[in-house]
Amino acid sequence: MRAKNSISPVADTMKETVSKESAQQIAVDFLKKRKNTLKVDISTVEQNHEIWVIRGTCPIDLEGHPWAEKFEVAVDTKGKIKSTNFALL
């Protein structure tokens, strides 16, 4: 039986979702580790249905030459990375 102080099933579900800031931090930490860089520039964070989509750029070293790479990371409401997409600028 549901506790009396619980507002609604929707409110209970909202507590389990990651915030915009948390999704952004998950993506930044992932990119720093995967791309071995200290700098990650976020351009947009938007929610698309049940997925946070984080887009931006990060520097990479391509055979001794610095390049910029754009990325898109999708983080679900539980904080798990669902997909990534990278492309050189």
For residue range 24-61, what is the model confidence (pLDDT) as tens digits? Answer: 999 999 999 999 999 999 999 999 989 999 999 999 98
Domain boundaries, the chain: 9-88
CATH number of 9-88: 3.10.450.630
CB 75 within 8 A of CB 82: yes
Q: For residues 19 and 29, give the distance between their C-alpha atoms in angstroms, rounded to a whole number.
A: 15
Q: Which of 31, 20, 29 is nearest to 68 (CA)?
A: 31
User: 78: helix, coil or strand?
Assistant: coil
Q: For residues 87 and 68, give the distance between their C-alpha atoms in angstroms, rounded to a whole number.
A: 9
pLDDT averaged over every residue in the chain: 86
Put simply, whether the predicted model's pTM sits higher than 0.85 gets the answer no
Q: What is the pLDDT of residue 62?
A: 85
